[in-house]
Amino acid sequence: MKAEPDTRLVNSVDVRFSIDDLAAAGTSSWEGVRNYEARNIMRDGMRVDDLVLFYHSNCKVPGVAGIARVCRNAYVDHTAFDVSHPYYDAKSDPANPRWFMVDVEFVRKLDRLVPLKELQSLKSQPALSGMALLTRGRLSVQPVSAAAYEFIVELSKTSPAAPE
DNA sequence: GCCAACGTTGGC
DNA sequence: GCCAACGTTGGC
């Protein structure tokens, strides 16, 4: 799941959210997803206790920052109905809601941030083959194989690759 | 149902 | 701030 750790204004509201923000909050809803495929993954593909890689995007060093866990199955994203909310969507009808969200809880930060660049340099590794993060960067909620999850968590325990 | 125009994402 | 990739919209 991607979040933006740096200041980001949406309709004049700062929607930044980092792994440290999740750590401070303990749990958080994942409101604001306004893409159908990402919604479907949350609604149909995620269940309580699933582990989540927390990715920092749109920032100086994009990459995987930590681990979270799903703690509530998908439910209606009510922020879409609130005209004063930055994620308001007039097309989501309360009688037939368009958008859904899950809740996640903080598990831990990785020992170090695993930069996207590093993962790109390792994309020929079988564990990362076909990983959505590397093949279609723009999806904000993506499936992660068990192999990719393990690979990235183990990678975070190693020293960063030396710069070229 | 096609597809051009337009909007968004997100790395750089 | 640029812009490529790609998702969404809407005319036909």
pLDDT in tens, chain A (164 residues): 999 999 888 888 899 999 999 999 999 999 999 999 999 999 999 999 999 999 999 999 999 999 999 999 999 999 999 988 989 998 888 999 999 999 999 999 999 999 999 999 999 999 999 999 999 888 999 999 999 999 999 999 998 876 54
So what's the pLDDT on residue A10? 86
Residue–nucleotide distance: A161 CA to C7 C1' (Å): 35
CB A130 within 8 A of CB A87: no
- pTM for the model stands at 0.94
The neighbour count for residue A97, using CB atoms within 10 Å, is 15
Residue–nucleotide distance: A37 CA to B2 C1' (Å): 22
Where are the extended beta strands (E) located within chain A?
Answer: 2-3, 9-10, 13-14, 27-29, 51-56, 63-76, 100-115
Q: Which nucleotides of B are covered by protein (CB under 7 A)?
A: 8-12
A136 touches strand C (CB under 7 A): yes
So what's the pLDDT on residue A51? 98
So what's the pLDDT on residue A13? 87
